[in-house]
Amino acid sequence: MDTFVIEGGRRLSGTLAVNGSKNAALPLMAAALLTRERLVLRGVPLLADIRNMQKLLQVLGCRAERDGDGDLAMQSADGASVYAPYDIVRTMRAGICVLGPLLARFGEARVSMPGGCAIGDRPVDLHLRGLAALGADVSLEGGDILVRAPRTRGVHRLRGARVFLGGPMGSTVLGTANVMSAAALARGETLIECAACEPEIVDLANLLNAMGARVTGAGSPRVLIEGVSELAGATHRVIPDRIEAGTLAAAAAITGGDLVLENCPLDALMAFTDRLHAMGVRVTTLEGADPMRATARFTAGGALRPIEVTTQPHPGFPTDLQAQLMALLTLADGNSVITEKIFPERFLHVAELSRMGAHLFRVGPTVIVSGVRRLVGAPVMASDLRASAGLVLAGLAAEGTTTVNRVYHIDRGYEALEDRLGSLGASIRRVDDRVEEAALLPVVVAAGRAVA
């Protein structure tokens, strides 16, 4: 297992281009199952979750390979498997994205029910409720979700309907993706009420429309889909990753740095830049003809001001940047309040940040962050993807050495994070624990003999 070794205290500066979005790419990849024609995605990041989704598509009879230019080319054969087994879905919850597309194209699907994960229970009841509203028969067997479209005149096909996707925490991003994709091939019109408004949903709607679907209203809570009988292939560029952009901007801010981000989806980051601004970080647009692919500069320096923040569905502050913001606020000049409204248990970073000298007090879904003058390096444990990113940020600012274990969590969502931060002046290197342990072993043994 790999570990990051970080020597903190270096100011980051320089220019980076934001990579394609993981959370946009995953449902876009699943949309390849909606057609027998070739779908090409540009700008898909090189990440563990993406490789897992490629594997899942291959199990489902869909070719999914990088071509010579690094684009991801996919083609789904007719009559292939409709079974997404536990082995793969358990490695990546986004495997649930194949449910809607498989059901819509093949009339049935069997997808292993994703379990909970480090950030909470993660139910899928809204996905199932949405597909049931389109006429699907939904059941559970041996831990698998079974769905079957209604049969009329010998054909299994979903039928359009009004679908309400609101749950106790608001809407659902992947649930909206599933229902939208399924409705694209349904008979008649579907209206999704309380749809997720995240930019990743807009990207999926744009891809579906490029494939011949008729989707309007994506990005608002009310999405209308007029079903068509077939979808075609397309070539599509994935939107830049707002969470990677926010994480890199926070890395610059926590080190008092100066970062220029190209291909930066500023339009999707307004709640985040608003909070950065309130903390005293300057955000300037250098080039913004396309606000989803702007060039923006993040300049910090001087004391960070404390703030209040509540995570919310888009366009509110994203839960996927909560841990990174908390790392930043540990060094603010006063008390901040963070409330997590999407995943109320998403606080695995709290105990680890405390090991580095942060003053954090959690009451239910709220954490009071009392800013300290300095963090001190320590060995810390990565737990989930974004919590781990928060620990890396804290390590960049801490005095001394921080080791972040279990870097595979970070590799799920950040492409070559150590190289990218290194190019900005950070001292961060990846070591293979087993190699390090093997190297240390003779020393330990020798020391043992000497003592004996």
Residues with a known catalytic role: 117
| Least distance in angstroms from the C-beta of 151 to ligand EPU | 26
| Least distance in angstroms from the C-beta of 173 to ligand EPU | 3
With beta carbons less than 8 A apart as the criterion, state whether 177 and 100 touch: yes
Q: Write the DSSP symbol of residue 221.
A: S
Size of the site for ligand EPU (CB under 6 A): 25
| Encoded tokens for 88 | 């793969």
**Smaller CB separation from ligand EPU, 329 or 385:** 385
Alpha-carbon gap, residue 200 to 206, rounded angstroms: 10
| Least distance in angstroms from the C-beta of 412 to ligand EPU | 8
**Smaller CB separation from ligand EPU, 23 or 255:** 23
**Contact positions with ligand EPU (CB under 6 A) in 173-202:** 173-175, 196
| Least distance in angstroms from the C-beta of 445 to ligand EPU | 41
Strand order in the sheet with 162-164: 162-164, 189-193, 222-226, 214-216
User: Is 26 an interacting residue with respect to ligand EPU (CB under 6 A)?
Assistant: yes
User: Is 342 an interacting residue with respect to ligand EPU (CB under 6 A)?
Assistant: yes
**Smaller CB separation from ligand EPU, 323 or 378:** 323
User: Is 321 an interacting residue with respect to ligand EPU (CB under 6 A)?
Assistant: no
| Least distance in angstroms from the C-beta of 449 to ligand EPU | 47
| Least distance in angstroms from the C-beta of 350 to ligand EPU | 17
Alpha-carbon gap, residue 24 to 177, rounded angstroms: 10
User: Is 391 an interacting residue with respect to ligand EPU (CB under 6 A)?
Assistant: no
**Smaller CB separation from ligand EPU, 19 or 295:** 19
Q: Write the DSSP symbol of residue 226.
A: E
User: Is 393 an interacting residue with respect to ligand EPU (CB under 6 A)?
Assistant: no
Specify the 3-state DSSP secondary structure of 177: helix
User: Is 414 an interacting residue with respect to ligand EPU (CB under 6 A)?
Assistant: no
Question: What's the start-to-end Cα distance of the chain, in Å?
Answer: 32
Pairing of strands 189-193, 294-299: unpaired
Alpha-carbon gap, residue 27 to 107, rounded angstroms: 19
Alpha-carbon gap, residue 38 to 53, rounded angstroms: 17
| Encoded tokens for 256 | 């008092």
With beta carbons less than 8 A apart as the criterion, state whether 248 and 261 touch: yes
**Residue from the set 181, 206, 319, 388 that interacts with ligand EPU by CB under 6 A:** 319
Alpha-carbon gap, residue 197 to 199, rounded angstroms: 7
**Residue from the set 106, 317, 343, 414 that interacts with ligand EPU by CB under 6 A:** 343
**Smaller CB separation from ligand EPU, 132 or 431:** 132
In this structure, what is the dihedral angle of CA atoms 258, 260, 266, 272, given to the nearest 10 degrees? -20
**Smaller CB separation from ligand EPU, 74 or 321:** 321
Helix then strand count (H, E) for the chain reads: 15, 26
**Residue from the set 203, 241, 320, 411 that interacts with ligand EPU by CB under 6 A:** 320
Alpha-carbon gap, residue 407 to 384, rounded angstroms: 10
**CB under 6 A: which stretch of 74-82, 144-152, 164-172, 272-280 binds ligand EPU?**
164-172
**Contact positions with ligand EPU (CB under 6 A) in 83-142:** 94, 120, 122-127
| Least distance in angstroms from the C-beta of 241 to ligand EPU | 9
User: Is 345 an interacting residue with respect to ligand EPU (CB under 6 A)?
Assistant: no
| Least distance in angstroms from the C-beta of 379 to ligand EPU | 23
In this structure, what is the dihedral angle of CA atoms 408, 414, 417, 423, given to the nearest 10 degrees? 170
**Smaller CB separation from ligand EPU, 258 or 340:** 340
Specify the 3-state DSSP secondary structure of 441: helix
What interhelical angle do 322-329 and 385-397 show, nearest 10?
A: 20
**Contact positions with ligand EPU (CB under 6 A) in 39-68:** none
User: Is 258 an interacting residue with respect to ligand EPU (CB under 6 A)?
Assistant: no
Alpha-carbon gap, residue 35 to 102, rounded angstroms: 10
Question: Which residues of the shown chain bind ligand EPU in the complex (CB under 6 A)?
Answer: 23, 26, 94, 120, 122-127, 167-169, 172-175, 196, 319-320, 342-343, 385-386, 413
